[in-house]
Amino acid sequence: GRAGEERVLRHERATLRSSGRDDLARKVRWVSDEDGDGAGYDIASFTPEGRTRLIEVKTTNGWERTPFHISRNELAVAEDRRSDWCLLRLWNFGRDPQAFELYPPLDAHVSLTATAFEASFH
């Protein structure tokens, strides 16, 4: 959710600043907040070396293996931008937040189950 994304945004900026990359820290963007959902990631950041990091944040209050939702678009962007994209799994958020990252292909790490349908008029 929004609180998880905000926490990751602050962490990304702090990590870059502590690596002496204030220039990159200033360029980190909360894409889903500024532009809305649809980009296929929530945070546009960088590694200290300057490589792009496109971060999709998935936050739950449950444990690390609590299922989460991911959109078809997020999966497509993960595939198209494989070297830049990661899923940051933030769990136990309400108590003692923990995190880990998953990298494409996601189906190497998780089972993907279709759970929603789009309804369009005839």
CA 67/CA 92 separation, integer angstroms:
13
Give tens-digit pLDDT for 47-68. 999 999 999 999 999 999 999 9
Number of domains present in the structure of the chain: 1
Please tell me whether residue 62 adopts helix, strand or coil conformation: coil
End-to-end CA distance of the chain: 34
Which of 53, 90, 83, 86 shows the shortest CA–CA distance to 68?
Answer: 90
Tokens of 31: 């894409």
CA distances in angstroms from 72 to 18, 48, 55, 58, 83, listed in the order given: 35, 30, 16, 15, 18
Q: Does residue 63 lie within any of the structural domains?
A: yes
Q: Does residue 84 lie within any of the structural domains?
A: yes
Q: Containing domain of residue 100, as a range?
A: 2-106
Q: Does residue 14 lie within any of the structural domains?
A: yes
Tokens of 32: 């889903």
Q: Does residue 120 lie within any of the structural domains?
A: no
Q: What was the pLDDT predicted at 117?
A: 81
Looking at residue 7, which CATH number applies to its domain? Answer: 3.40.1350
Q: Does residue 80 lie within any of the structural domains?
A: yes
pTM: 0.93
Q: Does residue 26 lie within any of the structural domains?
A: yes
Give tens-digit pLDDT for 77-106. 999 999 999 999 999 999 999 999 999 999
Q: Does residue 25 lie within any of the structural domains?
A: yes
Which of 97, 106, 103 shows the shortest CA–CA distance to 10?
Answer: 97
Does the structure show a pLDDT above 90 at 71?
yes
Beta bridge partners of 89: 58, 100
Q: Does residue 119 lie within any of the structural domains?
A: no
Mean pLDDT for the chain?
Answer: 96
